[in-house]
Structure 1
């Protein structure tokens, strides 16, 4: 009995054996009925041009699963697969019998957790880029030496201390306007927008928007649409220093300058005072050399001007005018006689014409005057007799009165005339004295007024004599002595 049972079992098993393809088909049918949702990290992506599907692998800590997604489904999902992305897949298991490989046929794919946030950020970045907010031509240059710097960050983080320490070390002249705002969590984006507006309104010439490192979720306030538009519309340049070197947010993309860290952002806006001092010294040296060259050039120019004949012989400055004056004088000397002769000839012709015309013109008035004279004589003989008698009587009275009126004055005139005669130098000369005059016509009253060789005109009673002084002698007697002698 024991021997027969194994034989019967072996026959039954032989009758139930399947081929490989049948077994694989059975497995394929069983697997394709299982539709699941799973989450995994993308570890490999194969998306070559010309493929009908996208091949990738997802994994977790203990297993990995090859996946396949038809290209039409992949493009419709809007997800760009990359290594390290956390994805959520919906699909069914499928078995490729020819190779004996199992795949996961993906119906839909979405980014899970941080991946979904990254997709949202990427979509917003594309939208803002299409609006031109990331255009390099829109971004403004930073002021070389800002007097007022605005800082917008958390008042409790390490970033604010790094920024202030860097600004104090590199550029202590700047005035800092600080706006303490939350940089993560709900409402952080609104706080950042409000802080930007406040420091700009207070007079900041450039604004630092900074925070320290953190996870992608922590940095999400800096991926806010309103914050990006505020940065783009800010009237002064905005410099961002958000997180660490690999972190890039929407705020970094639209800012005028993106720095890798808060400290680097502070160094970007604050010139090093040692560099400023070196630059000032360089500019001073360049200015000194430039002025020296300019002064040397001016000195050479002055020397060249001083050597010109014009300054060595100033009279030559008027050579042209002198020549023109001589020419005009010559022309005038030649023109005047001819002009006078012409005028004289015309005057003679006019005189001759008047001589011929006057007798004719005066004939009629002369006859009228003669007739009027006859009438006046006739009328005067009758009407002027009384007036003539009155005029004669008045004339006699005037003669008698005039003689009596002039008598006192006649005597005074005689006395004054006698005195004038006595005081006249001519009377003195008539008595035998002489009067000497120099060449200017002034009377010489002292030997000190003349010099040897000077010519004098000596007037005596009957004429004048031109004399030359050969010698001068001083006489001690005074003029009064001569006067007394003259009186005697």
Structure 2
């Protein structure tokens, strides 16, 4: 057993080797700050990384106070540091003595550019935010199946609102495959008809959380019809998923608090409502009881016959008046009927019919005579006019040897309308003669 070293002894030996190595006493390092935190003591704790490696680093308060800039996540820096071993955790780290800016870190620069692009496109606008259901029936939790986040969310929901069904969907939250897995799990959660979706994971460096800054993940959260709570990282960690989600929680535990009501508060509210209803029901019952007692003391209710004896007498009076009115109406109708019968005599009616018939026949005979006389007069007048027409008819005139002269389809009545060589037509009783004028002689020549 004496040949075996304790962990502490081995760690102390390795630390001694690091501290004695002159090449590790002052090294110049270039890299990007990540997971940057300032302790309440004033010391700075952070990582320095490049594309392939990450080193833990710290800077003591006295040295940090001499910096000419405020370090932040994503800064590209130039460091002068000492390499040593932190015995408690057994890992090596650097103690920074000097730090200078060396431009903006690539990841941070990429994050800011994407944030600006999505913000201008409206992905972070408040008008797109959905309300978180107050009393959810089913909550989907998208996070790693192992780790503190899933345990915190599970226990918080059970303690606050055990009525909600939890659907835990194991999701990759780090690594190359995580981006596509997050998108697929969001789409899967939509198909489960859940009320709320929680997407969460523990804290980490900017590269650890980078999958939640991917544009495709942001758009998947934006297009999700279900309200989403983002609980990525710690309170100081921010990702683009936080900005596009319907609400951002500082921690997974806070996400569970936002997603559910507190059963103890609900019990208290129910007790208050019960007290309020009980008090109001008692007051209402008391008011109705007083009203009932007041109504029951009314003198007519003490002597019930007063409620109907007047009505019975009134009904009898109305019945009597109704019978009287019916008798009067019937009597008047009988009198009118008698008068009509007196006016309507069948014998006189037949005599009137015979008289009117004779008068009609007489008028008919007179009308027939007048019509015949009128027809005779019209025929005589027509015959006289026909004789006059025959006398004046051109045809009869031509039968007596006269001729009608036409030129250009116009009747010629004067020699003034003709000249030599005019073509004319002579219409006679039995035909037409076409001729040409040789000479025109007027009566005054």
TM-score (norm 2): 0.50
Q: Is the 8 A contact 1:150 1:177 kept in 2?
A: yes
Cα deviation for residue 279 of structure 1 reads 2.1
In structure 1, C-alpha distance between the alignment counterparts of 2:128 and 2:76, rounded to whole Å: 36
Query: Are positions 1:204 and 2:194 aligned together?
Result: yes
Cα deviation for residue 126 of structure 1 reads 2.3
Cα deviation for residue 318 of structure 1 reads 8.7
| Aligned twin of 2:412 | none
| Aligned twin of 2:149 | 159
In structure 1, C-alpha distance between the alignment counterparts of 2:336 and 2:141, rounded to whole Å: 105
Query: Are positions 1:244 and 2:224 aligned together?
Result: no
In structure 1, C-alpha distance between the alignment counterparts of 2:32 and 2:259, rounded to whole Å: 44
Query: Are positions 1:127 and 2:117 aligned together?
Result: yes
How many residues align structurally?
Answer: 270
Q: Is the 8 A contact 1:145 1:270 kept in 2?
A: yes
| Aligned twin of 2:401 | none
Secondary structure of the residue that 2:234 maps to in structure 1? coil
Unaligned runs of 5+ in 1: 1-37, 42-59, 67-80, 90-108, 362-488
In structure 2, C-alpha distance between the alignment counterparts of 1:341 and 1:175, rounded to whole Å: 88
Query: Are positions 1:170 and 2:195 aligned together?
Result: no
| Aligned twin of 1:97 | none
What is the aligned counterpart of 2:327 among 320, 327, 336?
336
In structure 2, C-alpha distance between the alignment counterparts of 1:237 and 1:295, rounded to whole Å: 45
**Larger C-alpha radius of gyration, 1 or 2?**
1
| Aligned twin of 1:262 | 252
Unaligned runs of 5+ in 2: 1-29, 34-58, 79-100, 352-445
Cα deviation for residue 226 of structure 1 reads 1.4
Q: Structure 1 pair 335/124, CA: closer, same or farther in 2 (3 Å)?
A: same
Query: Are positions 1:326 and 2:317 aligned together?
Result: yes
Cα deviation for residue 40 of structure 1 reads 9.7
Query: Are positions 1:185 and 2:185 aligned together?
Result: no
Bigger relative contact order (CA 8 A; separation at least 6): 2
In structure 2, C-alpha distance between the alignment counterparts of 1:144 and 1:302, rounded to whole Å: 43
Cα deviation for residue 247 of structure 1 reads 0.9
Structure with the bigger percentage of helix: 1
| Aligned twin of 1:118 | 108
| Aligned twin of 2:422 | none
Q: Structure 1 pair 320/127, CA: closer, same or farther in 2 (3 Å)?
A: farther
Q: Structure 1 pair 299/160, CA: closer, same or farther in 2 (3 Å)?
A: same
Q: Structure 1 pair 250/151, CA: closer, same or farther in 2 (3 Å)?
A: same
| Aligned twin of 2:83 | none
What is the aligned counterpart of 1:150 among 118, 140, 144?
140
TM-align CA RMSD: 4.3
Cα deviation for residue 239 of structure 1 reads 1.0
Q: Structure 1 pair 293/132, CA: closer, same or farther in 2 (3 Å)?
A: farther
Secondary structure of the residue that 1:208 maps to in structure 2? strand
